[in-house]
Structure 1
């Protein structure tokens, strides 16, 4: 995969009709994690750790930082957070593909400097299986 523009990594939240890009994000990140299940025992060869394949819980975390730019996406983010909604989200990774699934907004933070704009940080956690479609 060749170098890609960071601005092309998009976070979208479904509003009931269509996917809405979360506007104003200056940075975005998606991380995939899997818990390991250790099955090492007294007879493990040379005491090397053994793992149980496919047994751990998998999850994805989305995060972003930006500024308010678009009223519709700002309102959607705030409403989903305060309602505790588990909503359908989509992440487009350029030249990689699209990840779609259920996520819940785990945190929403606001910050502002005296001589600057109000910014926000958002973090979402997966709440079900994810699908991947290659680009």
Structure 2
């Protein structure tokens, strides 16, 4: 807030059971672009470390959030973001008392229309490739997923 005192925060929530395997899959894709052979790396170890990194980052973020005025935040679910993007934009603008111009609305709608979900294919991922289970993720992220303040979705 020191650098950007007028900052506002849109916090999009998603079930960690989707986030963690997705992040691990992305990491594997990036590694394959830069390393010819990464077979010596333990995917299960990396999977658990990524889960822990994400969980501890989320814990820190929630602690920082608790020190800031709640009106600086608006929360949404991943589902809302994907399924009702313009309704969410209007909600955000209203929440923060921003003016949404017709030109901005039209440009955003055009972007949405030009970029439908799965335009570039569907991202497939799983737990097992990274030595994880749904129960492991549920247990580690219970501090977050059981907090009813947040609209967590798939």
**Smaller-chain TM-score range?**
under 0.3
Which structure dedicates a bigger proportion of its chain to strand?
A: 1
Q: Of the two structures, which has the highest relative contact order with CA contacts closer than 8 Å and spacing of 6 or more? A: 2
TM-score (norm 1): 0.25
TM-score (norm 2): 0.23
